[in-house]
Amino acid sequence: MTELAELPAVQTAPATQTTATRPALRDVPSFEGRTVPDLRTAIPGPKARQHVAFDHEYTSPSLPRAYPIVPVRGRGATIEDIDGNLLLDFTAGIAVSATGYGHPRITAAIERQARELVHFSASDFFLPIYAELAAKLDEIAEFTELGDFLALPMRTYSAGMFARLAFAVSTAAHNDILLIDEGLSAGDAAFQKKVRQRIESLFDRTPIVILASHSETMISEFCSRRVQMEHGALTSVA
């Protein structure tokens, strides 16, 4: 991959003249039906080099800019640059790593919210979503029974405290698919009763629940299908 230092230097020009122009972002070939990676040009391509020159002229040199890549759209783990090259993105941010680019449910939620209110100050007006989120956080806090410990850093939590909080957060929302991995053993008998009630409600409202457990009783009670694994190998399906 060509480093930024190898790009042609931008010529100095009088203050009244612009030496670089913003490249058009239109007419980038579609990446539907193509394999990944798919390089149509060298990296950076001609349009990318034009944009890097334009960027160098107007932005701060303090930005690291590790790669001379100019992405214009993404789907899943794939990004397409301004020259139509398809690349796999291994350096995406936290949200993109979890959902991929262009996740249909996220884009639909953004579009729905943009049609209603793009931004409104919750300190000046009463926004329903603000109170709903606060109520959900209060519900999570109450379920954990951690009290004042919720104000402490999580690095100070015991394994049991962490399990309580993780279970409360992961089961507070309505999901299409829920994975539960040995998250049901923390707490005393009273807390275990709350966990069981929450699990029962989850099975009622969640289409797919995958429960990983060593408890034969719990698996028999809650699961309609059983898969047994030993040392990473599938041993039985019932």
Instruction: Write the class of the CATH domain 128-237.
Output: alpha beta
Average per-residue pLDDT for the chain: 78
How far from 56 is each of 8, 21, 23, 157, CA to CA, in Å?
11, 11, 14, 47
Strand pairing class (177-181; 208-212): parallel
Distance CA(126)–CA(121), nearest Å, equals 9
**pLDDT value, residue 1:** 41
Q: Of the ranges 47-51, 110-114, 125-129, 138-142, which one carries the lowest mean pLDDT score?
A: 125-129
Which residues of the chain are in CATH 3.40.50.300 domains? 128-237
Distance CA(185)–CA(189), nearest Å, equals 10
Position 142 confidence tier, pLDDT thresholds 50, 70, 90: very high
List pLDDT tens digits, range 98-119. 677 888 888 888 888 888 876 7
Q: Is 90 left (phi over 0), alpha (psi -120 to 50) or beta?
A: alpha
How far from 12 is each of 3, 5, 58, 86, 154, CA to CA, in Å?
21, 17, 12, 33, 53
pTM of this structure: 0.50
For residue 135, what are its two tokens? 């109520």
Q: 162 versus 8: which is more confidently predicted?
A: 162
